[in-house]
Amino acid sequence: MRLAGLFTRPQLGEQEAPPQEQGPAREDFAAQPEPEPAPQAQVIAFANQKGGVAKTTSTLNLAVALSELGNRVLIVDMDPQGNLTMSQGFNPDHITRSMFDVLVHRLPIEQVIHEAEVDLAVSSIDLAGAELALSSMIGRERALEKALTPIKERYDWILVDTPPSLGLLTINALVAADEVIVPVQCEYLSLRGLVQLENTLSMIRENLNPNVEIQGILPTMFDGRTLHAREAVEILQENFGELVFKTRIKKTVRYAEAPVKGLSVLKYDPSGNAAAAYRELAKEVLDGAKARKYA
Ligand code: ADP
Ligand code: MG
């Protein structure tokens, strides 16, 4: 080793043989591109503290529509009632390990993911105890965010279904989320709850997740024949403008029939209007994601 060369100027004549050990010059290091970080899943939480507004229906059917377009999708059931889990044909009463174990005992989430139309992290009735169990833990609002971090590279989209409350399970979903989709039944009374949801979101932005945004408000169970439904959508647009998705999810019994068979509506009735509506929503979501990426 020519240690001397490192400390003294090279003599004339020595210059043709630069010391091998020196490695590339600083400029070469700078020129080397940073290794690209692996793409991470976008996390969307479906939230509305009102029950029966189509959170679960929208989580499943948007997920399947995104997967039909070639995306890798995971859905996460954060509702102790386990409707999302049931809607893919699993019985929450027979599930031994669920999101409860992931959130409370830090079980790796892979261990509760089941293969279904898309990958599904299951819920069981135990999850009802998670709010209480989490409440005394440090980092109680970040349990889901932590659980998702190691698997974010494996998916393009992670869609999280939440229970009809603004408790710790929903807060965990909003903290883990990049975006929130708010399904709203097209009825005047359903619109009033949005103020409370917005307040919760502001609190989360201030304290826990500054980046979370409402991706869109999704009018569901829309019956275009009634003046009331049309007016409800008008009120939504007056208040939230561009945030209201262009896609309207119409009222039809297909959405109630499909889960009884353990299927999404896209698989249950692939060529029907109900399936088409969620395919249209998937395009809107993908266009929105692209627009944000290149904004
Ligand atoms: P949430 O998760 O908000 O409680 P769900 O997705 O479980 O709501 O929907 C509540 C009920 O309404 C379910 O029985 C579901 O099948 C039905 N449903 C969902 N979307 C529609 C729709 N567009 N038209 C008619 N019924 C619907
Ligand atoms: Mg639900």
Q: What is the pLDDT of residues 124-145, one digit of tens each?
A: 999 999 999 999 999 999 999 9
Instruction: Please give the structure tokens belonging to residue 80.
Output: 């102790």
**CA 228 / ligand 2 centre spacing (Å):** 24
User: In this model, does residue 177 exceed pLDDT 80?
Assistant: yes
Is the Cβ atom of 49 under 6 angstroms away from ligand 1?
no
Q: What's the structural domain count of the chain?
A: 1
Q: Residue 217: which CATH number?
A: 3.40.50.300
Q: What is the pLDDT of residues 23-40, one digit of tens each?
A: 555 555 566 777 788 899
**CA 126 / ligand 1 centre spacing (Å):** 23
d(Cα 281, Cα 275) in Å, to the nearest integer? 10
Average pLDDT of the chain to the nearest whole number: 90
Q: Give domain status of residue 191, yes or no.
A: yes
Q: Give domain status of residue 200, yes or no.
A: yes
Residues with CB in 5 Å of ion ligand 2? 55-56, 83
d(Cα 114, Cα 112) in Å, to the nearest integer? 6
Is the Cβ atom of 53 under 6 angstroms away from ligand 1?
yes
Q: Give domain status of residue 205, yes or no.
A: yes
User: In this model, does residue 3 exceed pLDDT 90?
Assistant: no
- Testing ligand 1's pocket by substitution, the residue of 49, 53, 55, 57 carrying the most ligand atoms inside 8 A of its CB is 57
pLDDT value of residue 28: 57
**CA 53 / ligand 1 centre spacing (Å):** 6
Q: Give domain status of residue 11, yes or no.
A: no
pLDDT value of residue 192: 78
Instruction: Please give the structure tokens belonging to residue 75.
Output: 């859905």
Q: Give domain status of residue 15, yes or no.
A: no
3-state SS string over 97-116? CCHHHHHHHCCCHHHHEEEC
Whole-model pTM?
0.88
The mean per-residue pLDDT over the stretch 258-287 comes to: 98
pLDDT value of residue 187: 85
User: In this model, does residue 152 exceed pLDDT 90?
Assistant: yes
Q: Give domain status of residue 112, yes or no.
A: yes
Q: How many other C-beta atoms are found inside a 10 Å radius of the C-beta of residue 154?
A: 15
pLDDT value of residue 181: 98
pLDDT value of residue 20: 54
Q: What is the DSSP string of the chain?
A: --HHHHHSPPPTTSTTS--GGG-S-HHHHHHSPPPPPPP--EEEEE--SSSSSSHHHHHHHHHHHHHHTT--EEEEE--TT-HHHHTTT--GGG-SS-HHHHHHH---GGGGEEESSSEEE---GGGGGHHHHHHTSTTGGGHHHHHHGGGGGG-SEEEEE--SS-SHHHHHHHHH-SEEEEEEESSHHHHHTHHHHHHHHHHHHHHT-TT-EEEEEEEESB-TTSHHHHHHHHHHHHHHGGGB-S---B--THHHHHHHTT--HHHHSTTSHHHHHHHHHHHHHHHHHHHHHT-
Q: Give domain status of residue 37, yes or no.
A: no
Cα–Cα distance list, 237 to 41, 78, 186, 241 (Å): 29, 29, 12, 5
User: In this model, does residue 255 exceed pLDDT 50?
Assistant: yes
pLDDT value of residue 70: 98
User: In this model, does residue 17 exceed pLDDT 80?
Assistant: no
Q: Give domain status of residue 113, yes or no.
A: yes
Which atom number of ligand 1 is nearest to the Cα of residue 53? Answer: 3
- Greater model confidence, 30 or 102: 102
Q: Which domain holds residue 280?
A: 42-293
Is the Cβ atom of 56 under 6 angstroms away from ligand 1?
yes
pLDDT value of residue 5: 34
User: In this model, does residue 12 exceed pLDDT 70?
Assistant: no
